[in-house]
Amino acid sequence: MDGIRGLFIVVEGPNGVGKSTAVLGLAARLRERGLAVHTTTEPTDSPLGRLVREGEDRWSGRAFALAVAADRTLHLDQEIRPALAAGQIVISDRYAQSSLALQQLDGIPLGELWHYNAHVPAPTLSCYLRDHPAVLERRLRERPRLSRLERLGSPARELALYDDVHRFLEPRGWPQALIDCHDRDPDAVVTQILRELG
């Protein structure tokens, strides 16, 4: 697959770390500068993406990893590349790193997950949000219901998996930034992301 032309930003990190909040805040700050921004998420808001979301509790292992990878492939073809071609900045809440980290919870080795995703282009910048496990545990405790993967993993395990993925992608040339969210309000998190973007 060809590389990416345009500005494609990915926000990643463990469940509850503040990805969706950061995506909204970043989009707002870029729009204040008069820039055209397209926000998106994985799994996508497409028929396949909705099926994947609904399937998380019933499917696991290879079948789920491949379904998520298929949704990502369509995401690139039908949403990300067209938005970039139209001159928009694309910000995605989750991308391939979520697969490389979270599908390991289902026992799929990182190398195999990479095979399923190796065709996807590197974003312009991938931001990995981090916080202390205790903060994330508190946020998850406040949720009425946890997903299958949230129950299977834990904030500490997810953080460790994202660290592995960060190390794995570094020699593969993916531009990446670690964003420490601890004791930073959402605005300060966005400021840090903007600094990384230069």
Ligand X SMILES: Nc1ncnc2c1ncn2[C@@H]1O[C@H](COP(=O)(O)OP(=O)(O)OP(=O)(O)O)[C@@H](O)[C@H]1O
For ligand LXEULUCI, the binding residues (CB under 6 A) are: 41-43, 56, 68, 94, 98-99, 102-103, 147, 149
CB of 71 to ligand LXEULUCI, least distance (A): 8
- In angstroms, the CA 94 to CA 100 distance is 11
CB of 139 to ligand X, least distance (A): 5
| Site residues (vs ligand X, CB under 6 A) | 15-21, 139, 181, 184-186, 189
**Phi, psi values for residue 95, rounded to 5°:** -160, -150
Please, which residue, 57 or 86, has the CB nearer to ligand LXEULUCI? Answer: 57
Inter-residue contact 179 to 130 (CB < 8 Å): yes
Which entry of ligand LXEULUCI, ligand X, none binds 153, CB below 5 to 8 A by partner kind? none
Residue 82: asked if its preceding bond is cis (omega within 30°), the reply is no
User: What does the block give as tokens for 15?
Assistant: 């469940």
- In angstroms, the CA 95 to CA 79 distance is 13
DSSP letter, residue 122: P
CB of 139 to ligand LXEULUCI, least distance (A): 12
Residues 6+ positions from 17 with CB-CB distance below 8 Å:
129, 130, 131, 136, 181
Q: Which amino acid is at 184?
A: R
CB of 43 to ligand LXEULUCI, least distance (A): 6
CB of 34 to ligand X, least distance (A): 25
Inter-residue contact 23 to 91 (CB < 8 Å): yes
Which entry of ligand LXEULUCI, ligand X, none binds 157, CB below 5 to 8 A by partner kind? none
Please, which residue, 149 or 161, has the CB nearer to ligand LXEULUCI? Answer: 149
Which entry of ligand LXEULUCI, ligand X, none binds 154, CB below 5 to 8 A by partner kind? none
